[in-house]
Chain A
Amino acid sequence: MNATFAVLTRELRLALRSGGGAGLGLAFFLIVVMLIPFGVGPVPHLLAQIAPGTLWIAALLACLLSLDRLFQADFEDGTLDILTLSPMPLEGLVAIKAFAHWLTTGLPLVIAAPILGITLNLPDSAYWWLVTSLAVGTPALSFLGAIGAALTVGIRRGGLLLSLLVLPLYIPTLIFGARCVAAASEGMDVIPAFQLLAGVTLLTLALTPIAAAAALRMHMR
């Protein structure tokens, strides 16, 4: 428990104090959402219609942006080797790192999303489900991202490859998450989409640490 807490605090400190990874993701989210009206035109009803999908896609891209640093720095300076030698299972370490990534990237997006929803003229009925679906769905983005980050950790210029590997894995989460918000804004039943979204998240929480830890071990073999 102590070790878990120590690693988590270390991750959070690094994320908040060096390089401002957390703030950058949020700024990126803001910019992407701001670009949408420039692209499609300032038509309120059109923006309201595409708002759920736009917010979800922007969140997904913002999450992707900081993924390549999840293991890279620790891998390069040897910290990862030391952490691997510690009694803590590597799967647990991956889960903590992914959770810290969510705390510093996903959570700020969840909080900022309703504010950006206003700018996109999102219908009132959708705000609750926008926040809920993002809160439930974004952990899956961080955990799936951990697989991509683990696979590409030693690769030079792995950033683009990382997106190619990770983005297809985001499809189910994106579909169910955006559907949640869209259903809420159209006044339809949200529960089926939400349950499926939660199911995908739970599946990824359970399985991705195993796959990501396996990939990390292969890199350090």
Chain B
Amino acid sequence: MSIWEYANPVRFMRLTGKVLPWITALAIGCLAVGLIWGFFFTPEAENFGSTVKIIYIHVPAATLAINAWGVMFVASLIWLIRRHHVSALVAKATAPVGMTLTLIALITGAIWGEPMWGTYWEWDPRLTSFMVLFIFYLGYMALWEAIDEPDKAADLTSVLAMVGTVFAVISRYAVNFWNQGLHQGASLSLDKEEHVSDVYYQPLLLTMAGFFFLFMALVFLRTRTEIRARRIKALQLQEAN
């Protein structure tokens, strides 16, 4: 038994078909309990008011938005090295999910930023690097769309994922340098984890788990759809011959 057995599309479909309902149920359960607990049964923070409750969507979305790129990177690497089609399709399926999570993080951040900082947008290093990440996702998806041959598209997007990863990391630190250089010491501390007390922390863990399962469920679902689409295409080609 090795993990590579699930590189076989049939095995992958069988396994994910079995676990998908459970993961979906876990996602719904964790999110429902976590969000209701977080929104209605936690006290309002001293200097944040009720806006603190955006944390239950903002932080999990932001965390997973970055990790989704990591999933794409690993899946692309596996495709380049071992040429498992399922791996390439996982990378393809992850991109829109990651992009949406990035967008959610940006939008909830803006909604939170308005009452807290008095502005929807601030060219803070973290905000800026998320915008950059969003553009990287867009470029990746656009390249998938632009190439007709599935294998070639998987190859080229994998190269882009490699290059993009290197430059996303460099950009992250370059942006730090840029902002520090422009207004020193004026940057806001965004490390909320530091001053989050247990009352907020426990539901936050639950929503993070919920977002994680939701992410997993969506990626599995999208990958299964891609595999089925491939199969339909193959059948249509057979039919035509």
Contact = CB atoms under 8 A, between A and B. Distances in A.
Mutual binders A and B:
yes
B174 A207 contact: no
Given A179-B178, A183-B181, A200 B171 contact: no
**Interface size class for chain A?**
20 to 34
B224 to A, nearest CB: 26
A151 B160 contact: yes
Contacts of B135: 164, 167-168
A172 B181 contact: no
Contacts of A165: 139, 142-143, 160
A57 to B, nearest CB: 14
Contacts of A175: 174-175, 177-178
A66 interface: no
Interface stretch (B25-33, B151-159, B196-204, B209-217): B151-159
Interface in A161-214: 161, 164-165, 167-169, 171-172, 175-176, 179, 182-183, 192-193, 196, 200, 203, 207-208, 211, 214
A219 interface: yes
A32 B170 CA distance: 28
Contact of B142 (A164, A183, A211): A164
Given A215-B156, A215-B159, A219-B152, A172 B139 contact: no
A195 to B, nearest CB: 11
A179 B177 CA distance: 9
Contacts of A154: 147
A147 interface: yes
A167 B155 CA distance: 21
Contact of A211 (B147, B152, B162, B174): B162
Interface residues of B, number: 26
A151 B152 contact: no
Given A152-B146, A176-B177, A196-B177, A171 B159 contact: no
Choose among A175, A179, A193 the residue with the greatest number of B CB atoms under 10 Å from its CB. Answer: A175
B139 A218 contact: no
A158 interface: yes
Interface string B153-185: 001100110111011001100110110010000
Contacts of B164: 168-169
B181 A161 contact: no
Contacts of A219: 152, 156
B7 interface: no
A218 B159 contact: yes
A210 to B, nearest CB: 10
A64 B155 CA distance: 24
A6 interface: no
A164 B138 contact: yes
B136 interface: yes
22 contacts: A147-B159, A151-B159, A152-B143, A155-B147, A161-B143, A161-B146, A164-B139, A165-B142, A168-B132, A168-B167, A168-B171, A169-B163, A169-B164, A172-B174, A179-B178, A196-B177, A200-B170, A211-B162, A215-B155, A218-B152, A218-B159, A221-B152
Given A161-B143, A207-B166, 12 more contacts: A151-B160, A168-B132, A169-B164, A171-B174, A172-B167, A175-B174, A179-B177, A200-B170, A211-B159, A214-B159, A215-B159, A218-B155
